[in-house]
Amino acid sequence: MYRARRRRRAHGLIAACAASAIAMVFAMSGVAGATAAAGTTAPEDEATATLQVIEPNVTVKRADKENFRPGREGQRLRVGDTVKTDATGFAQVNYTDESFTRLDVSTTFTIVSLTDDEGNRQIKGSVDSGQTWNRTSALTESESFEQEGAGATAAVTGTAFVVSCTTPTNCTFTSVVDGITLTTVDGEIQHLDPLMECDSDEVVVDEDADLCGAPAQVTLDAILANAWILENLFIDGANGFEGIIVVEDGVVVSVTPTPPADEEEETPPPDLSDPPVVDPNPVNILTADSDTDSPTYPTGPGDVVISQDEWTGDNRVTFTLQVTNPGHSFVVVFTALPDVLFGQLLDSSLNAVNTTTEYLITEVYTFAPVQIEANCANGDDFDECFNTGDFPTLVTEGPVDGSVQWSDSFTFKAVNDEGDESVETTVTLTAVDDMCTTNEEGHDNDAVDAVPSCIGGD
C-alpha cells in the first residue's frame, strides 16, 4: 500500500506537465535521505557495501555459500554476494553516501566489484532478473560505476539509469539522468543520451550479445507507463533530491539534478557489522553453592569460577557467559575444555559441554569438579600427598586454613551470523576442598595431617 501511494503521487506530479515546454521541479524536504544510510567506511583491506531493507522479504546469498538467508538492515555485503527480492521485497545496496543500486520486486542482483587493486571506486553489479535503479555521484577519471545484464555492460557517464531484465539473456538499459555507454562482450558500443533506452539480447552459445539497432527516445507516455522510473524519481525527490524535468511537445528532453547546497558532514551511523565482544567480566554467576557463597570463596562475576568439590545439590555453581554484540545474532563456541580428571563443564541439561556444539548466549552452565581424594602415607608432606600424579593440575593450599584447591580452565569465543568472531577468552575454574573443617567427606587422616594449616584430623 505504501509503495502504491508513492507511485500514484509520482504519477500525478509528472502527469501535471503540459504538452508545451515546461519545467517540473522536485524540491522536497523533511524526509531522511535514502542514501544517508549508505553504510560505514570499509576497512582498508576490504571494500564492502551495505544492505538497506526498504520492505521485507529480501534475502542474501554469500559468495561462498549455496543458500539464501534473510537479509538484515545494515548488513555488510562483499564482492560475490547476491541480493534477491521476492514478489513484495524492496531493497537498496549502498556503496557510498551518494552511490547505490535499488532493487525492485522479483530482482536478483550480484556485486561483481567494488574497488580496483589500488582502492579506487570501481563499482560493478550484475542483474540476473528483475530491474534496478542506479544512482551515483560524479566520478573521477580513476572511478567507475557499471552494471551488467544480458551480455552488455552499462558504464555511467551521468548519475542515474535503469536496468530491466525479463530474462538473464534479455535486458533493457534506460538512461535517465545524463547518459550511459553500453558495451557488449564482443565490443559493440552504443551511447545513450539522457532519457534514451536500448536493449541487449545475449546469444549464450556464441558468447555474443546484440544491442538495439539505435537507442530509442523515452517519451512522456513511456515515463507515465513506467511505474519503476516514477517510483524512484519520487523516492529520490522525497529523500532530498532536487531536479528539473523538461518536457517539450510531449517528450521529456532532460532531467537535471540541482547541485546540493553545502551541508555539514553528518555523523555516519554506527557499524552494526563489528564482531561480537566478550565483556570485561565474562562470567555472570547465577547461583553459588552453600560453602563458597561468601567473600572467602568469591564466585564472580569475573574471569574465575570457584566451587566446592562436593558440587551436587545445593553445592552447585551455575553461570552464563556475557558477550556484547552490535546488531547480529551470535553463538558461543568452546575452543578448549578442562581435563576430565579435574572436572567438567555442563550445559543446562547437565550434559558435558563439547567443542563441536554452537551454544546460545542464554545457555546456563554448571561447574562440576571431581572430588579430591588424596592417598597419603603417614609422614608424607603436602606435595607427596597431593602432587604425585594423582591430580591433573597442581594442588595448593586454599584461601582459608584447612583447605586445598586446584584449577583448570576453559576457552570460548562468540561468532555472529556474519562469520565475525570475538577474541578467544579464558575462564579459570577453581575447585576447593575444606580438608579440616568438614568431616562428612571422610578424608584420609594422613591427607589431613599433610595440610600445614590443619589442626588435628578426622
What pairing do the DSSP bridges indicate for beta strands 22-27 and 242-248? Answer: antiparallel
- Cis amide prior to 301 (ω within 30 degrees): yes
pLDDT value at residue 84: 96
> What single-letter amino acid sits at 336?
A
User: Could you give phi then psi for residue 434, rounded to 5 degrees?
Assistant: -85, 100
pLDDT value at residue 206: 62
C-alpha cell at 83: 541480493
pLDDT value at residue 24: 41
Q: What is the DSSP string of 310-343?
A: --STT--EEEEEEEE-SSS-EEEEEEE---TTTE
Higher pLDDT, 315 or 181: 181
Whole-structure pTM value: 0.48
State the pLDDT confidence band at 1, using cuts at 50, 70 and 90. very low
pLDDT value at residue 29: 29
pLDDT value at residue 239: 55
pLDDT value at residue 38: 38
C-alpha cell at 162: 535503469
Give the mean pLDDT of 178-200.
85
pLDDT value at residue 287: 81
Residue 6: pLDDT above 70? Answer: no
For 302-316, b/e burial (b = at least 16 CB within 10 A) is: beebbbbbbbeeebb
- E strands, 187-272, are 189-192, 196-203, 208-211, 216-217, 242-248, 251-257
State the pLDDT confidence band at 377, using cuts at 50, 70 and 90. confident
Q: SS3 for 265?
A: coil
Longest dimension (CA), the chain: 114
Q: What is the DSSP string of 133-149?
A: EEE-----TT-EEEEEE
Out of 15-24, 88-97, 341-350, which region has the weakest mean confidence (pLDDT)? 15-24
Higher pLDDT, 271 or 18: 271
d(CA 48, CA 44): 10
C-alpha cell at 187: 565490443
pLDDT value at residue 110: 95
pLDDT value at residue 255: 59
441-450 confidence digits (pLDDT tens): 667 778 888 8
Which CB contacts under 8 angstroms, 24+ apart, belong to 289-297?
Answer: 289/314, 289/315, 289/316, 289/317, 290/314, 290/315, 291/315, 291/432, 291/434, 292/317, 292/432, 296/399, 296/400, 297/399, 297/432
Q: Which residues pair with 411 in a beta bridge?
A: 336, 426
Give the mean pLDDT of 244-264.
57
Summary mean pLDDT of the chain = 77
Dihedral, 286, 292, 293, 296 alpha carbons, nearest 10: -130
Q: What are the residue ranges spanned by the domains of the chain? A: 2-257, 277-449
pLDDT value at residue 108: 95
The DSSP output letter for 104 is: -
pLDDT value at residue 208: 78
- 215 within 8 A of 207, measured Cβ to Cβ: no
pLDDT value at residue 361: 86
Which CB contacts under 8 angstroms, 24+ apart, belong to 185-191?
Answer: 185/151, 185/152, 185/209, 190/214, 190/215, 191/157, 191/215
Q: What share of the chain is helix, strand, coil (3-state, %, to 5)?
A: 10, 45, 45
Residue 162: pLDDT above 80? Answer: yes
Distances (CA, A) of 243 to 9, 154, 233, 259, 443: 17, 23, 10, 8, 88
Higher pLDDT, 318 or 309: 318
Residue 13: pLDDT above 70? Answer: no
Grid-cell match 566520478, residue found? 139
Residue 390: pLDDT above 80? Answer: no
CA 81 to chain CA centroid, Å, is: 13
Higher pLDDT, 296 or 57: 57
Give the mean pLDDT of 139-166.
84
State the pLDDT confidence band at 312, using cuts at 50, 70 and 90. low
pLDDT value at residue 266: 60
Residue 267: pLDDT above 90? Answer: no
Out of 44-58, 208-222, 325-339, which region has the weakest mean confidence (pLDDT)? 208-222
Q: SS3 for 379?
A: coil
User: Could you give phi then psi for residue 321, rounded to 5 degrees?
Assistant: -105, 140
The dotted CATH code for 2-257 is 2.60.120.1440
426-444 confidence digits (pLDDT tens): 999 888 888 776 555 667 7
Give the mean pLDDT of 46-72.
91
Number of helices (H) and strands (E), helices first, in the chain? 5, 30
69-119 confidence digits (pLDDT tens): 999 999 999 999 999 999 999 999 999 878 899 999 999 999 999 988 888
Give the mean pLDDT of 180-206.
83
d(CA 58, CA 73): 10
d(CA 76, CA 360): 23
pLDDT value at residue 313: 64
Residue 198: pLDDT above 70? Answer: yes
Say what percent of the chain tops pLDDT 70.
Answer: 74
Q: Which residues pair with 146 in a beta bridge?
A: 124, 155
> What single-letter amino acid sits at 114?
L
Higher pLDDT, 296 or 133: 133
Give the mean pLDDT of 50-69.
92
